[in-house]
Structure 1
Amino acid sequence: MTRMTSGAGGGPRIAGLRALQAFGLTLSCLSLGGFALLSGAGRTVASTVTPGAAPQFTVLIAGRDIVYCYYRQPCKDQDQRTGLVQPPNTDTVMLVKVDGSSVRVLNIPRDTNVGPFDRFSPIAAQKVNSQYHSGGPEALARAVETITGERVDSYVVVRTDYVERVIDALGGLNVTVPEGGIEWIDNAAGVNLQLPAGAHHLKGQEAVLFLRVRKGFGDDYGRIDHQKQALTQLAGRMKSAQGLAALPTILGGIGNGVETNADPNTLVTLRPFLGQLKLSFATLPTDEIPGTFNLAVNRERLAALWGDAPAPVTAAPDVKVSVVDASGAGLGAGLSRALGALGYADVQVTVAPPSQEASQVFTQQDVAQAGALSDLLKLPRLQGERFPVAPGEVGVLLGRDAQDTLSQLAALAGTPLPAADAAAPTTPGATPSPPPAGN
C-alpha cells in the first residue's frame, strides 16, 4: 500500500491521512469520474466520438488529495493552492482507453518519472503525482501522454471527500482477511481497525481503512493490484439495479470536487455497449532509477501488455492454469475438464471457502494467455506486478457469482475428473493462491 512518508512541512501524521485516501481515490476515479463525463460537469472539449459509431477515446482519470490547512483540519476552500500543510498531489492516476465494448485501464504508479530523468532537476518535481499541483489538470494530462505515448482526449480529476458514501451506496465491499487477522490502531489519525481472519462485509469507512493496510500486500505495486480486485467487484455492481440506485449518492459529488473538460455526450455513446463491456486492468511496467525513488517506464513491456495488436496465442496453450474454486458449487472441477478439452494440459484446482469476491482472471506477465482465458470465460482480466502467480502461469478465481455467470460448468463438475485433474490439490478450505485477501 502507500508509503507512510512525511510531506513538506506536514509530518508523518498528515502523510498518514493522505495515505488513507489511496483506495478511495481509485474508486472515486472510476465511479465519479465516469458519471462526471455523463453529466458534463465543468467546461468541455470537442467530442472525440462519432455519432452512430463504436466509441473510441481515452480519458485520464485521477484522484487528488483533500488539502489540509492545519493538522487534521481540511481547508474550507479545497481549491486553494497556498498556505497548505501539504500540496494536493494525485496519488492515483489511470488512463482509460475505450474501444467499443472494450475498456482498458492502465494504472500509473505515483512515482513514475515524466520523460528522461534529469539529475539536475528536483527529483520529486519529476514524478507524475506532482504535475497536478505544479500545473493543473492540463499539465497532468501532458505528463501522462509523455509517459504512455498515448493521446489523452479528456481528463477527469476527482476529490475523495465522499468516497465512503460511494462504497456504501454500492453495497460495501466483501473481503477475506488473511491468517493472523488485521489490527491497525492509530488514535492520532482516528484509526481503529480490528478484523479477525476470515470473510467480512465492510461498509465504506472500514473498507477504505482495510484497503489502506499494507499487511499482506507489500509495496505500491501490491496496493495497485489489490485495488484492481476490489474495483472489479464494485464495478460489477454498477451495471445492476443496485448501481442505478446508487446514482443519486454518486452524482451528489458532481460539481463539488470534480474537474473535467470532457464532452458530456461521450458516455452516451457507450450505452449500447454496456451489456457487453469487457474490462481489463494493467499496471504500467517500470524500472527503478538508481539513487532515487523515481521509476522509469519500461516501454518494451508496456507495448506487450497495452499494445493495440493482441499478442498471439498458441493453439495448444503452454501455460499453467491455477484455479481457486470459491464458488461454493464445485465449479472448479468443471472448469478443469473444459480447459483440458481445449488443450490446457496443466490445470490445477484448489477448493477454497465460498467467497463473494468477484470472479476474475489474473496474471503478472502472461497477458496474451490471460486475455484468451478472459475472453473464453467472459471474466475481467487483471494484469499486475505482484499477483501470486509465476511466469508461465495464469490464475482464475471463481467466486459465488460464477454460479450465475458460469453455470454451465455445473454439468461438467459432476463427472469424474481425468487423471491429471484428479491429482491436482482440491483440499476444502485450502488457502487460495490467487487474489490475496481484500479483493
Structure 2
Amino acid sequence: MNVTNPPPPRIAGLRALQAFGLSLSALSLGGFALLSGAGPTAAAATVPGQAPSFTVLIAGRDIVYCYYQQPCKNQDQRTGLAQPPNTDTVMLVKIQGTTAHVLNIPRDTNVGPFDRYRSVALQKINSQYFSGGGPQSLVKAAETITGEHIDSYVVVRTDYVERVIDALGGLDVTVPEPGIEWVDNAAGVNLKLAPGAHHLEGKEGVLFLRVRKGFGDDYGRIDHQKQALTQLAGKLRTPQGLAALPTILGGIGNGVETDVNPATIAALRPYLGQLKLSFATLPTDPIPGTFNLAVNRERLAQVWGDVPATPPNPELKITVVDASGENLGPALTRALTALGYRNVQVTPAPRSGEASQVFTQQDVSDAAQLADTLNLPRLQGERFPVSAGEVGILLGADAADSLAALKGLGTPAP
C-alpha cells in the first residue's frame, strides 16, 4: 500500500506469507498432528469444561541458501549459509475463550532499550531466531517487547506456506498501481504482476505475499497479511479446506517447528467454529538515527486485547466497500442507519474473494462495536485506507453467506 499516494479503499492486495501458521499451525495443524505424537510439547493451559486461554507466538522464516539460488539440503543448519534466515513475520496470538487477539510485531522492533554500543541489526526482533539460537530466543524477545507471557511457538517456512496455498486453491489478490516487479536473481525471484485482479497459485503467491514494494513499507505489508489471514482462515470452513487437511497436517518436521501442546488444542477444537479474530499492529516510535522502532506501551493498551465496545457513535463516518458481487452495500447502509449511524457511504468495487471485515486505524472501540454487531473480524492497522473518525467495512464475496440477512432487506421503495 503506497503511503504517499494511498489506493482507493478496495483493500488491494493479499499477502499471507508465513503468518498463515496462526490458524493452521497453532490451531488445526498443531492440534491434529501433535495429538498423533509429533514433536515436543509445552505445558497445557486448560481447565476441564472451559475454553482454553493461552498465548502462542507465530513466526515465518525464510528458506536458507548455501549457494547461489541453491537451498541448503538441511534447512535447520546454521553455518555455511549464503544468507541467514530472518523472521520478518512475527505475530503474538492470545486465545481467550472464543476470541483470538492477534498482535503483529514489526520486523524492525527493538528488543528492550536501544543500546548504541551494540549492533543495530542484532537488536531487531527479526534477527533473534537466527542470532539468538532458535524459537526460544524469539519467544523471549517477544515477551520483552510486549510484556506478555508466551506459552508456545509455531515457526513456519515459506515452502510450507506454498504447499498450503496450493491445497486451499490459491489466493485472489488485487495488485495496486503501478503493478509489481520484484526480481532477485540471487534468490531465484522473478515476480511481475500488472495492476488489477489476479489468482495466484502457491509459488507465485508466496512471492507476492512477501513483497513490500507497492505496499508502502513493513506496516503496509503487515496490514495486508492480516487481510490474507482472514481470507485463508475462512477457507478452512469450506469442503476444499477440509480436503486440504492432509497437506496441512504434513507440516510438522517438514516446514513447521512448534511446541504447541496437544491437550490445549484439543480443548480448543469444539470452539473453533465460533472463534472470532481481531488484529492489531504493535504501536511503535522511531529510534532517532536508526531504522529500529521502540514499542509504545501506552498506545498498545488502546489497540490490542479486549477493547470495550462502545454504543453506536452517530457521528462516526462509515465507509462500506461493496465487493460482494451481490450489491449488499445499500442494504447494509439501511441496516446501519436503523442502528443510529448517520454518516454511511458505499463505494462499489469489483467482486472480490477477500474476506469481509471491519478495519480501522485508531478508532478501535467504534470498530469493535461494528465488528460485534456484524460478527466480522476486526482489523486495526497503521496503513488501512481510512482516516481518524472513520471505520471501513469490506464486503467480500463471502458476505453473501455470512451476512445473508441483508438480502432480505430488499431494495428501498422509490
> What TM-score comes out, normalization by structure 2 length?
0.90
Which residue is equivalent to 2:355?
358
Q: CA deviation at 1:232?
A: 1.0
Q: CA deviation at 1:311?
A: 3.2
5+ residue gaps, structure 2: 2-14
SS in 2 for 1:135: coil
Distance 1:214 1:121, change over 3 A: closer
Between the aligned partners of 1:312 and 1:188, the Cα distance in structure 2 is 49
Which residue is equivalent to 2:72?
75
Q: Is 1:324–2:321 an aligned residue pair?
A: yes
Moved more, 248-257 or 323-332: 248-257
Which residue is equivalent to 1:371?
368
Q: CA deviation at 1:198?
A: 2.9
Conserved? CA contact 1:112–1:128, under 8 Å: yes
Between the aligned partners of 1:291 and 1:106, the Cα distance in structure 2 is 26
Between the aligned partners of 2:23 and 2:43, the Cα distance in structure 1 is 22
Distance 1:127 1:384, change over 3 A: same
Q: CA deviation at 1:364?
A: 0.7
Conserved? CA contact 1:105–1:281, under 8 Å: yes
String of CA shifts for 1:126-183, please: whole Å, max 9, x gaps. Answer: 1111221223211211111111111101112222222211101011111123344444
Distance 1:44 1:384, change over 3 A: same
How many pairs were matched up? 396
Between the aligned partners of 1:235 and 1:190, the Cα distance in structure 2 is 29
Which residue is equivalent to 1:239?
237
Distance 1:190 1:123, change over 3 A: closer
Distance 1:117 1:191, change over 3 A: closer
Conserved? CA contact 1:172–1:202, under 8 Å: yes
Q: Is 1:217–2:210 an aligned residue pair?
A: no
Q: Which amino acid aligns with 2:138?
A: L
Between the aligned partners of 2:149 and 2:389, the Cα distance in structure 1 is 32
Distance 1:271 1:171, change over 3 A: same
Between the aligned partners of 1:67 and 1:388, the Cα distance in structure 2 is 35
Q: Is 1:260–2:258 an aligned residue pair?
A: yes
Between the aligned partners of 1:132 and 1:76, the Cα distance in structure 2 is 19
Which residue is equivalent to 2:401?
404
Provide the aligned C-alpha RMSD in A.
2.0
Distance 1:307 1:173, change over 3 A: closer
Distance 1:326 1:67, change over 3 A: same
5+ residue gaps, structure 1: 2-21, 418-439
Between the aligned partners of 1:137 and 1:184, the Cα distance in structure 2 is 29
Between the aligned partners of 1:276 and 1:363, the Cα distance in structure 2 is 23
Between the aligned partners of 2:334 and 2:246, the Cα distance in structure 1 is 45
Q: Which amino acid aligns with 2:18?
A: L
Residue 36 (structure 1) aligned to one of 21, 30, 38: 30
SS in 2 for 1:248: helix
Which residue is equivalent to 2:346?
349
Distance 1:67 1:401, change over 3 A: same
Which residue is equivalent to 1:380?
377
SS in 1 for 2:145: helix
Between the aligned partners of 1:225 and 1:70, the Cα distance in structure 2 is 33
Which residue is equivalent to 2:293?
295
Between the aligned partners of 1:146 and 1:180, the Cα distance in structure 2 is 39
String of CA shifts for 1:361-419, please: whole Å, max 9, x gaps. Answer: 101111111111111111111111100100111000111211111122123340159xx
Which residue is equivalent to 1:15?
none
Conserved? CA contact 2:69–2:188, under 8 Å: no
Q: CA deviation at 1:97?
A: 0.6
What is the correspondence of 1:51-200 to structure 2 with a 5 Å cutoff? 51-133=48-130, 134-185=132-183, 189-200=187-198
Q: CA deviation at 1:270?
A: 1.4
Conserved? CA contact 2:312–2:366, under 8 Å: no
Q: CA deviation at 1:339?
A: 0.7
Residue 275 (structure 1) aligned to one of 256, 273, 278: 273
Distance 1:322 1:227, change over 3 A: same
Moved more, 78-87 or 287-296: 78-87
SS in 2 for 1:158: strand
SS in 2 for 1:281: strand
Between the aligned partners of 2:138 and 2:247, the Cα distance in structure 1 is 28
String of CA shifts for 1:191-241, please: whole Å, max 9, x gaps. Answer: 443434332221112212222343431100000101111111111011222
Q: CA deviation at 1:30?
A: 4.0
Distance 1:215 1:55, change over 3 A: same
Q: CA deviation at 1:256?
A: 2.4
Q: Which amino acid aligns with 2:353?
A: Q
Q: CA deviation at 1:37?
A: 4.4
Q: Which amino acid aligns with 1:55?
A: P
Between the aligned partners of 1:63 and 1:174, the Cα distance in structure 2 is 21
Moved more, 361-370 or 27-36: 27-36
Q: What is the aligned-residue identity percentage?
A: 70
Distance 1:26 1:322, change over 3 A: same
SS in 2 for 1:211: helix
